[in-house]
């Protein structure tokens, strides 16, 4: 497995793992985390991903006895990275994408949004992150496609993963976890607004997102959820930044920052069991939200809304949330799109927001 991380413009390239740790059934997940601990103790860097469905294994109420066709966890154990950015200098070849379809008809999508609003009205949940998928055919150089997408919409947490069975192209704007020593932070993202057509309307668009009551409500709910999740494994919980608006080529997005202190040697499983998957991709309260997501969504999310990243031998770690992320295998590709549904959401408004988030990919067809 080859992996190129370009988090915060600090490239890290890994290849030729000593071993691969993989899991396709939740009953094997604990053993995989034990192997991760052993690899770290041997001075190896562990890097790869957890799929969204791995989160079911951390809660008894969500457990399901199911063999997946895509890894719940897939991590390589590496002796050392190569020169930073080495893979980014590899020549890029041509690629082609076609035959795009959405896995959920618009009328079903509208019915599901109405169903979520009924759950909210009944007090089951406050917010649900509901997702659909775009599917397409692809051919050619996956790394060339990754580079083209990154040029089209630069993001702070991109990554490229290549195995003999699949490619993952993550153009993620969202941080999941960054741990340095005992200090840890997460930056939940909730809130989207289209860019303006000229400098004045563009400035106004960013301000509208910052002060929009609906988007602030979405963001605050998830920020509170992340505070609670980090409180399960850490202390000194703080929110140093609230309602920060980030600018991208095609849209604005709102993030907040939650920090905590944890034990420097906290087991990886304990940390993930406390916070994975991120509340920004589930809704609140998390367990009930995940039950509703499994009921309404057409299929497994797989890599989408899971976590991609690395853990160094000193237990520092950095993971993104793989949104705006393509999974390519066997000549086909998929990319999830979604958003937080609250009481004020409208089916058409949420559909339009999802299409806006997919524009960076649509422009390559």
Q: How far apart are CA 258 and CA 234, in angstroms?
A: 12
Active site residue 178: no
CB 356 within 8 A of CB 192: yes
Which one of the listed residues 6, 162, 174, 218 is annotated catalytic? 174
Q: Is 48 left (phi over 0), alpha (psi -120 to 50) or beta?
A: left
What six digits make up the tokens of 251?
A: 């849209």
Catalytic residue among 133, 187, 190, 357: 190
Annotated active-site residue 270? The verdict is no
Question: Whole-angstrom Cα distance, residue 48 to residue 35?
Answer: 14
Using alpha carbons, select from 337, 342, 72 the residue that is nearest to residue 222.
342
Burial (CB < 10 A; 0-12, 13-18, 19+), residue 163, is middle
Kindly list the distances between the CA atom of residue 257 and the CA atoms of 104, 184, 232, in Å, as whole numbers in the listed order. Answer: 33, 11, 17
Report whether the peptide linkage leading into residue 248 is cis, meaning its omega lies within 30 degrees of zero: no
Active site residues: 174, 190
């Amino acid at each position: 497995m080859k992996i190129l991380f370009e988090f915060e413009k600090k490239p890290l390239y890994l290849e030729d793992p000593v071993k691969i740790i993989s899991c396709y059934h939740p009953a094997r997940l604990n053993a995989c985390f034990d192997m991760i601990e052993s690899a770290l103790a041997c001075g190896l860097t562990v890097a790869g991903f957890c799929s969204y469905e791995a989160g079911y294994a951390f809660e008894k109420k969500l457990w399901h006895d199911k063999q997946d066709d895509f890894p719940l966890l897939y991590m390589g154990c590496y002796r050392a990275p190569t020169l930073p950015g080495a893979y980014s200098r590899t020549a890029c070849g041509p690629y082609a994408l076609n035959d795009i379809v959405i896995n959920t008809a618009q009328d079903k999508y509208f019915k599901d949004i109405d169903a979520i609003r009924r759950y909210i009205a009944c007090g089951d949940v406050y917010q649900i992150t509901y997702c659909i998928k775009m599917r397409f055919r692809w051919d050619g150089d996956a790394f060339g496609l990754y580079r083209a997408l990154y040029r089209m919409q630069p993001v702070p947490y991109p990554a490229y993963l290549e195995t003999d069975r699949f490619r993952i192209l993550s153009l993620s704007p969202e941080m999941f976890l960054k741990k340095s020593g005992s200090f840890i932070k997460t930056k939940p993202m909730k809130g989207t607004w289209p860019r303006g057509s000229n400098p004045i309307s563009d400035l106004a668009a960013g301000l509208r997102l910052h002060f929009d009551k609906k988007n602030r409500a979405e963001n605050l709910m998830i920020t509170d959820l992340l505070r609670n999740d980090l409180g399960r494994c850490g202390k000194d919980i703080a929110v140093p930044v609230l309602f920060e608006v980030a600018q991208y080529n095609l849209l604005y997005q709102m993030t907040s920052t939650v920090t905590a202190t944890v034990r420097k040697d906290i087991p990886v499983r304990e940390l993930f069991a406390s916070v994975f998957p991120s509340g920004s991709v589930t809704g609140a309260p998390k367990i009930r939200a995940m039950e509703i997501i499994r009921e309404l969504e057409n299929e497994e999310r797989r890599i989408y809304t899971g976590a991609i990243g690395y853990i160094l031998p000193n237990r520092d770690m950095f993971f993104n949330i793989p949104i705006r992320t393509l999974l390519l295998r066997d000549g086909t590709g998929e990319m999830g799109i979604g958003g937080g549904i609250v009481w004020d959401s409208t089916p058409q408004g949420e559909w339009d927001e999802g299409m806006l988030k997919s524009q960076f990919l649509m422009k390559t067809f």
